[in-house]
Amino acid sequence: MVKKMVSEKSGKGFIYNLETFISKYKLPIGIISIVILLVVPHLGFSQYIMNILIKIGIYIMLGLGLNILTGYTGLVSLGHAGFVAIGAYTASIIAIKSGMNFIPSAILGGLLAAVFGILLGLPTLRLTGTYLSIVTLGFGEIVRTVLMNWDSVTNGTLGVKGIPKPEIFGIKLTLANNGLYYMMLALVALITIFCIVLINSKTGRAFLAIKTDEMAGVMMGINVTYYKVLAFVLSAFISAVAGAFYATLIGYVDPNSFTFDISTLILSIVILGGMGTVRGMFVGAAVLISFPEVSRKLMDYRFVVYGLILVFMMRFRPQGLLGWKSQMPYKLSKNVKKRLQDLENSPS
Amino acid sequence: MAYLQVNGITKRFGGIVAVDKVSFEVNEGEIVSIIGPNGAGKTTVFNMLTGVYKIDEGEIIFDGKPIHNLKPQQIVKSGISRTFQNIRLFQDLRVVENVLVGTHIRTKYNLLESVIRSPKFRKEEDEKVFRAIEILKSIGLDHYRDDYAENLPYGDQRKLEIARAIATGAKLILLDEPAAGMNPQESEELLQFIRSLKQKGYTIIMIEHDMSVVMNISDRIYVIDHGKPIASGLPAEIANNERVIEAYLGRGRKNAEDK
């Protein structure tokens, strides 16, 4: 009796229906969303709106980056602005000094942040929970302080000006020609695909195992040290690339672009959207970035409302807006399905 | 030499000697039980065998190679896996994913291959998924394949832990109180299941309090009390051993009258 209830996908509620619907019409839904995203710039929205859309895209990348660390591996970072800053500054300074194009300079920024990810990851392995968060918080502040005081390289509090726009085949990508919007789409798509393939592999399962029960993970032979550092590295790299893109979008960075507020905003996106999900990052970023813009009427009260929303979310939906567990069956490849069928057909 | 040879292992926590010169041996294909009153140091022995604790003295030889003080993942790789006294499944993962985590150590593809979904990745991933389903079928949990581990009934969660341990490719499986919290019918099922593991060639070391389980399936039993070995032998010998009865029940009435 009990056995039956568990496997029966008990309830078959709203989520189940929604997921069935989406998986049934996966192709048309995908095509329609891609078409909409591609034609958005030609619908005559103002530059202000386009700017917000790109900003949402940047925060989706940042959310996805932090999600690898916090959502998958269960390590809460309060200092991700540090990685964003390293990426933004490194890419910008390289681009200005050597004239290097955006993509290679952003990758270099990402790699440097990844090195800092290792440096931050290694000593913090023995720390979990709040202790780890405090260390990452310190890291974020240290990065900002260094940027503020290392005048010869970072130009101190004045910041770095005149960051060149990305170029592809000799065409400068700007807001006006929508190049930056499309570049944002491409980056978000790449990072999204990366996160999806990552989580559906032994690496992703190792991350999830560490989050759920580190000790049990160790006893399954998972090299916890390696995977925790790897999570830091991947997370830092993605955040830094998003930071480099932010820098080229605005054309100017200073230490105050990367305060603790940014770290908490990224973390809020991950939590509000739904920790450990990819879909959640999109909704989390869209809600939290557009909220201050659409609620301008509320004037000074908007951050009170903003805070209240977060409080109520944590009280009534702690798993996040889209933080449900999939009720679809585990996806088997065609090969496995075929082998299983063969197995059933030959009862031996 | 025996399959697993444990020679005088000792573990101290500060001034307390949790395990004091415990020795035992397990032959291939045997079911050996370690029993003793609460706090006797049985789980500490498991933690020493699996590399959670470093040992202070002694040696552990598995399959001809010393494994004491190796890292847990090296010990898993050499073919030893365990379950836990309090169920420690990956509760948020599906049943099949729990078993797949077990296959982690035998999965060879690297990060890059998984990200670009290379043929090697696909082939190996398919193999592991198929293997995981095979294990679930053999253990009678396949109908739960897509369910989340936390939603399983208690007895089946215990079984899933064993499935996960098997998936590591281990030949020696350590079961830490597998029958804890089970009703008589469930522990009878478990008994059958552990016997079937033995028939498949697995070697099993078991910590257990449920004497109906221990006496029925153990080939040999070791008894420890206060960290020290006090007896060993066949189930029938242990059941009548005075030191064992004393350790569990205290001194008999006859001795009390002597005073």
Inter-chain CB proximity B73 and A325 less than 8 Å:
no
Q: How near does any CA of chain B get to the CA of A222, in Å?
A: 6
Torsion angle of the four alpha carbons A181, A184, A186, A187, in this order, in degrees rounded to the nearest 10: 170
Orientation angle between helical segments A129-149 and A80-98, nearest 10 degrees: 30
Residue A142 reports pLDDT greater than 90 = yes
Question: Is residue B192 exposed (0-12), middle (13-18) or buried (19+ Cβ within 10 Å)?
Answer: exposed
Task: Note the helical H segments in B50-153.
Answer: 72-78, 95-102, 111-115, 119-139
Q: Does A325 touch chain B (CB under 8 A)?
A: yes
pLDDT for residue A327? 82
pLDDT tens for chain B, 259 residues: list them. Answer: 788 999 989 999 888 889 889 999 999 999 999 998 888 888 999 999 999 999 999 999 999 899 988 999 999 999 999 999 889 999 999 999 999 999 999 888 889 888 888 999 999 999 999 999 999 998 888 899 899 999 998 888 999 999 999 999 999 999 999 888 888 888 888 888 899 999 999 999 999 888 888 888 999 999 998 888 888 888 888 888 888 888 877 776 655 555 4
CB atoms within 10 A of CB B49: 23
Report residue A35's pLDDT band, with 50, 70 and 90 as the boundaries: very high
For residue A10, pLDDT over 60 is answered with no
Nearest chain A residue (CA) to B97 = A205
Smallest CA–CA distance, residue B131 to chain A, in Å, is 10
Chain length of chain A: 348
In angstroms, what is the C-alpha Rg of chain A? 22
Q: Give this prediction's pTM.
A: 0.90
Q: Which residues pair with B82 in a beta bridge?
A: B174
What gap in Å lies between CA A184 and CA A248, rounded to an integer? 11
Lowest mean pLDDT among A185-199, A214-228, A318-332, B48-62: A318-332
User: Which is nearest to B247 in space by CA: B229, B220, B259?
Assistant: B229
A81-92: average pLDDT: 95
Contact B72 A218 (CB under 8 A): yes
pLDDT at residue B233 in the model: 87
Give the pLDDT band (50/70/90) at residue A7.
very low
Helices (H), B50-199: 72-78, 95-102, 111-115, 119-139, 154-167, 184-199
Which chain A residues touch B76 with a CB distance below 8 Å?
219-221
Question: Whose CA is closest to A6, among B198, B144, B81, B108?
Answer: B144
Sign for the pseudo-dihedral over CA of B137, B140, B146, B149: negative
- With bands split at pLDDT 50, 70 and 90, how would you rate the model's confidence at A93? very high
What's the pLDDT at A166? 86
Q: Give the whole-angstrom CA distance, residue B136 versus residue B162.
A: 10
Domains with residue ranges and CATH for chain B = 1-79+171-259 (3.40.50.300), 88-169 (3.40.50.300)
**In this predicted structure, what is the pLDDT of residue B173?**
94
* Helix-then-strand count for chain B, H and E: 11, 10
pLDDT of B254 reads: 58
Chain B neighbors of A198, CB-CB under 8 A: 114-115
Between positions 36 and 65 of A, the ones with CB within 8 A of B are none
pLDDT the model gives residue A12: 67
How many Å lie between the alpha carbon of B90 and the closest alpha carbon of chain A?
A: 6
Distance of CA B20 to CAs B44, B49, B117, B174, Å? 11, 14, 51, 20
Residue B164 to residue A220, Cβ atoms within 8 A: yes
Is the Cβ–Cβ distance between A325 and A208 less than 8 Å?
Answer: no
Q: Average pLDDT, stretch A267-281?
A: 92
Average pLDDT over residues A129-144: 90
Does A3 contact B143 at a Cβ distance shorter than 8 Å? yes
- Pick from A75, A50, A228, A251: which is nearest to A161 by CA? A251
Cα separation, B221 vs B215, whole angstroms = 9
Say whether B76 and A330 touch across the interface (CB within 8 A). no
Say how many CB pairs under 8 Å bridge A and B: 126
| Side-chain-side CA neighbours of residue B195 (13 Å) | 11
- Minimal C-alpha gap between A75 and chain B (Å): 16
pLDDT at A8 over 50: no
- Give the model's pLDDT for residue A334: 85
CA separation for the pair A136, A264 (Å, rounded): 12
Task: Classify residue A98 by burial, with Cβ atoms within 10 Å: 0-12, 13-18, 19+.
Answer: exposed
Residues 95-114 on B with a CB inside 8 Å of A are 96-97, 100-105, 107, 109, 111, 114
Q: How far apart are the first and last CA of chain B?
A: 46
> Exposure string (b/e) for A58-94, b if CB count within 10 Å is 16 or more?
bbbbbbbbbbbbbbbbbbbbbbbbbbbbbbbbbbbbb
- Given a cut of 90, whether residue A231 has pLDDT beyond it is yes
Inter-chain residue contact A213 with B151, CB threshold 8 Å: no
d(CA A111, CA A105) in angstroms, rounded, equals 10
> Does residue B146 contact residue B94 with C-beta atoms inside 8 Å?
yes
Of B89, B104, B130, the CB nearest to A339: B130
Contact A332 B129 (CB under 8 A): yes
Supply A212's token pair.
């759920």
Q: Chain-wide mean pLDDT for chain A?
A: 87
User: At A199, is the pLDDT very low, low, confident or very high (cuts 50, 70, 90)?
Assistant: very high
Residue A40 is predicted with a pLDDT of 87
The yes/no answer to whether this complex scores an ipTM above 0.90 is: no
pLDDT band at A3 (very low <50, low <70, confident <90, very high): very low
The beta strand positions in chain A, using DSSP E, are 160-161, 167-168, 171-172, 252-253
Q: Domain locations in chain A? A: 48-343
Residue of A nearest to B129 (CA): A336
Nearest by CB to residue B146, choosing from A201, A219, A330, is A330
**B36 in Cβ contact with B42 (< 8 Å):** yes
Measured CA to CA in angstroms, residue B65 lies from B4, B68, B71 at distances of: 9, 9, 14
pLDDT of the residue at A173: 84
Calculate how close chain B gets to A145, using CA atoms only, in Å: 35
Residues of B in contact with A325 (CB under 8 A): 92, 148
Contact with chain B for residue A348, Cβ under 8 A: no
Given A208, A332, A339, which is nearest B93 (Cβ)?
A208
Backbone angles phi, psi at A298, to 5 degrees: -75, -10
Q: Which of residues 19-58 of B touch A (CB under 8 A)?
A: 50, 52
Q: Which of the listed CATH numbers 3.30.70, 1.10.3470, 3.90.550, 2.60.98 matches domain A48-343?
A: 1.10.3470
Q: What local confidence, expressed as pLDDT, does residue B180 receive?
A: 85
B125 and A201: CB-CB below 8 Å?
Answer: yes
Query: CA-CA distance, B106 to A221, in Å (whole number)?
Result: 9
Give the whole-angstrom CA distance, residue A93 versus residue A211. Answer: 37
The CA angle A121-A122-A125, to the nearest 5 degrees, is 80
Contacts of A202 in chain B (CB under 8 A): 100, 103-104, 107, 109, 114, 125, 128
Of residues A216, A325, A339, nearest to B88 (C-beta): A216
Name the closest residue on chain A to residue B123, using Cα atoms. A335
Note the pLDDT tens digit of each residue in A241-257: 999 999 999 989 999 98
Contacting residues for B82 by C-beta, under 8 A, at least 6 apart: A219, B46, B49, B50, B165, B173, B174, B175, B176
Q: Å from B105 to nearest chain A CA?
A: 6
Note the pLDDT of residue A333.
85
Q: Does B164 touch chain A (CB under 8 A)?
A: yes
Contact A220 B126 (CB under 8 A): no
| Spatial contact of A147 and A89, defined as CB atoms under 8 Å apart | yes
| Beta strand A167-168 pairing with A171-172 | antiparallel
On the question of pLDDT at A133 being above 80, the answer is yes
Residue B225 bridge partners (DSSP):
B228
pLDDT of residue A4: 42
H-helix or E-strand containing B80? strand B80-82
The answer to whether the beta carbons of residues B204 and B110 sit under 8 Å apart is no
How many other C-beta atoms lie within 10 A of the C-beta of residue B198? 15
